[in-house]
Amino acid sequence: MTTKDGIALLGFTQIPIPILAAKPDTSFFELAKRSEELDCNVIVFLSRAQGMRSYEEYRLSIAETNYADLDIDAIAIWGDSKSVTKVTGNLPALR
């Protein structure tokens, strides 16, 4: 989509994307691992990204952090519909 003044906006889709909440006893690490085991793709979103001033600073901070110590704020999961549902089927919608 493009604005009236010619600015392209990325990320629009014609399919609905549900936003789900993780249950208190479920970690993003568990969801990511299970997703990957089912051949889904996973993107992690880190809390630290909010305060970084450059991509290089962000990249370096990740390079200095073990995966298990990442400050995951959210994850995006995509793949085969049945596989994604196996991972997310019991998660409530974010309200």
Assigned domain for 47 exists: yes
Q: Is residue 37 part of a domain?
A: yes
pTM attached to this predicted model: 0.73
Residue 71 lies in a domain: yes
Residue among 2, 22, 36, 29 nearest 90 (CA): 22
Is the residue at 50 inside a domain?
A: yes
Query: Does the residue 57 lie in any domain?
Result: yes
Domain residues for the domain of 66 are 28-88
Whether 23 is in a domain gets the answer: no
Residue 46: inside a domain: yes
Q: How far apart are CA 33 and CA 29, in angstroms?
A: 6
Return per-residue pLDDT of the chain as tens, 95 residues. 678 888 876 666 667 777 888 888 888 999 999 999 999 998 888 898 888 888 888 888 889 998 888 898 888 898 999 999 999 988 888 87
Quote the number of domains for the chain.
1
Residue 19 in domain: no
Residue with tokens 């691992």: 33
SS (H, E, C) 19-41: CECCCCCCCHHHHHHHHHHCCCE
